Chains A and B, each alone.
Chain A
Amino acid sequence: MMEEEKPQNNEMFVSSMSLPEFPVWEKMRNQRNVISFDLELTARCNNDCRHCYINLPQNDLEAKKKEIPLEQIKAIVDQAVSLGALWCLLTGGEPLLREDFFEIYMYLKKKGLFISVFTNATLITQKHIDLFKKYPPRDIEVTVYGVTEATYEKVSNKKGSFKAFMRGLKMLLDNGIKVRYKAMAIRSNVHELPLISEFCRERTKDYFRFDPFLHLRFDANPKRNEEIKSERLSPKEIVAIEKADDERYGALRKGCNELINPEFEHFNCNHLFHCGTGNGSFTVSYEGYFRLCSSLWHPQCICDLKTGDLSQIWEKFVLQVRDLRSDNKAFLDKCRKCSLVNLCIWCPAHAHLETGKMDTPVEYFCEVAHARAEMIDGSPHK
């Protein structure tokens, strides 16, 4: 049968590729398809990190009661898979706090989804190890808040958390589970950042990334927002740590022409969204709200999945959100035309968290972007 492609040996019926090689990415350039989604399983966390945009106490019963139940998660996953999703990120809060984490994880696996898990690693048990060994995640991403007990626990606000982190991380690594590392570069740990980078890089052949960009909380808690602001580094400090990191500085310099894009100056349009949000992925909050991306909490941009159908939301609602426009002159004259947009964490979502509006410039973001631009191309940007 099918003479022209008759196998010459026993190894021709099947071929393999890694996920990044899958031709679906090419197709995405021209059309909107669901490729991935994030599931925030809980807002609760056993740590109480100073910079966190979501964490609520581990024993917050009110928050626990609001968490999407397993059956609803299954329904959302079914719909996401039927829309073509290939990859799911399980995040929180601390996702391992969910008592039904194992059931959720296995449900995703059996649907043929690749899974990433964001965790602080402090709650890893042998049962998790057995699960991850038999049914491997694509990766586990662990945040390293510090590499000394004092620094780690200054950030995490939890006594004993450093020991628990080191124990959990060791269990993952000793059992060959793929771990990726990230760090938040904040006021409380910036003095230790070189050691954190060293710690991470010597434990992975994969990437390590640090992030000095803190956005505000989803629940707009004013006291916690002040704490986040107090943890933000100054533009000068951000530039200094980026410059001190050869890998990061090299990448920024290499991408200079794309990062500083004069074409943006010629955009003459009042659309709010010019990023890729809602083109290939979405986020589900712990209470079951659909968002185009993790930070986009503006009431005009969220949908309750308890009452809405995911494919309808994806096909109609997302397009409506992407079509939102602004008539705010300050935004249209400043951010909308800015050539530094790729160096700035300003976006409608972060602007909303910061100011309550999606089209308001944020001075701090602006200062950081300008300082970064000067760092990578050596000339001041006005």
Chain B
Amino acid sequence: MEKKVSIEKVYKPSEDVVARQVQGEFIIIPITSGIGDLEDEIFTLNETGRAIWDRMDGKKTLKVIAKDLSSDFESGTSDIEQDILGFTQELMKRNMLVEIGK
């Protein structure tokens, strides 16, 4: 079942993944079973995803992150909110993020 994502909620990287910078490449490595299909699967984020991931500190709501990004990238908040919701939805589906307070 798809997990419902809200712009008012706070999310953070799951403890089931480890994010690392290796030889200049940002990667996410699953450490538990059920994320990815292979024993040696690694994940990368596009530039937008990376910008959102870096701000997911477990304290800011997605709305606050959207506001941060809109001032950093001088872009409209509503477009950014759509990106953030899409990103969060995708990573929640992959069990790479957890919702705080749950």
A residues with CB within 8 A of B: 1-3, 5-7, 9-20, 22-24, 27, 33, 81, 84, 86, 109-112, 114, 133-139, 178
Digit string of B42-76 for contact with A (CB within 8 Å is 1, else 0)? Answer: 11111111011000000000000000011001010
Interchain Cβ contacts under 8 Å between A and B, 27 examples? A1-B80, A2-B47, A2-B73, A6-B48, A7-B48, A7-B83, A10-B86, A10-B89, A10-B90, A14-B28, A14-B45, A14-B46, A14-B49, A14-B96, A15-B43, A16-B41, A16-B42, A17-B44, A18-B40, A18-B41, A19-B41, A22-B42, A27-B23, A86-B22, A114-B39, A133-B33, A178-B39
Chain A contacts of B41 at CB under 8 A? Answer: 16-19
Chain B contacts of A12 at CB under 8 A? Answer: 46
How far, in whole Å, are A19 and B20 apart by their CA atoms in the complex?
14
- The answer on a CB contact under 8 Å between B31 and A84 is no
- The answer on a CB contact under 8 Å between A14 and B18 is no
The residue of chain A having its C-beta at the shortest distance from the C-beta of B73 within the complex is A1
User: Is residue B91 within 8 Å, beta carbon to beta carbon, of the partner chain?
Assistant: yes
How far, in whole Å, are A12 and B46 apart by their CA atoms in the complex?
8
Interface size class of B (residues with CB under 8 A): 35 or more
How far, in whole Å, are A112 and B49 apart by their CA atoms in the complex?
20
How far, in whole Å, are A11 and B89 apart by their CA atoms in the complex?
9
Give the interface centre of A7, A27, A110, A134 by most chain B CB atoms within 10 Å: A7
Q: How far is the CB of A29 from chain B (nearest CB, A)?
A: 12
* Other contacts beyond A22-B27, A134-B32: 19, CB < 8 A: A1-B69, A1-B83, A7-B83, A11-B90, A13-B52, A13-B86, A14-B46, A15-B43, A16-B44, A19-B40, A19-B41, A22-B22, A22-B42, A81-B20, A84-B22, A112-B29, A135-B32, A136-B32, A139-B39
How far, in whole Å, are A21 and B78 apart by their CA atoms in the complex?
36
The residue of chain B having its C-beta at the shortest distance from the C-beta of A108 within the complex is B31
The residue of chain A having its C-beta at the shortest distance from the C-beta of B23 within the complex is A24
Chain B contacts of A14 at CB under 8 A? Answer: 28, 43-46, 49, 90-91, 94, 96
How far, in whole Å, are A328 and B80 apart by their CA atoms in the complex?
69
B residues with CB within 8 A of A: 18-20, 22-25, 27-29, 31-33, 36, 38-49, 51-52, 69-70, 73, 75, 79-80, 83, 86-87, 89-91, 94, 96
How far, in whole Å, are A22 and B40 apart by their CA atoms in the complex?
10
- The answer on a CB contact under 8 Å between A135 and B31 is yes
- The answer on a CB contact under 8 Å between B25 and A1 is no
The residue of chain B having its C-beta at the shortest distance from the C-beta of A11 within the complex is B90
Given contacts A11-B90, A136-B39, contact A22 B48 (CB under 8 A): no
- The answer on a CB contact under 8 Å between A5 and B39 is no
- The answer on a CB contact under 8 Å between B90 and A13 is yes
Chain B contacts of A18 at CB under 8 A? Answer: 38, 40-42
- The answer on a CB contact under 8 Å between B39 and A137 is yes
Chain B contacts of A17 at CB under 8 A? Answer: 41-42, 44
- The answer on a CB contact under 8 Å between B27 and A110 is no
Q: How far is the CB of A281 from chain B (nearest CB, A)?
A: 14
- The answer on a CB contact under 8 Å between A134 and B45 is no
- The answer on a CB contact under 8 Å between B45 and A16 is no
How far, in whole Å, are A81 and B18 apart by their CA atoms in the complex?
12
Q: How far is the CB of B50 from chain A (nearest CB, A)?
A: 9
Q: How far is the CB of B71 from chain A (nearest CB, A)?
A: 11
How far, in whole Å, are A38 and B7 apart by their CA atoms in the complex?
45
Given contacts A1-B75, A1-B83, A24-B23, contact A114 B29 (CB under 8 A): yes
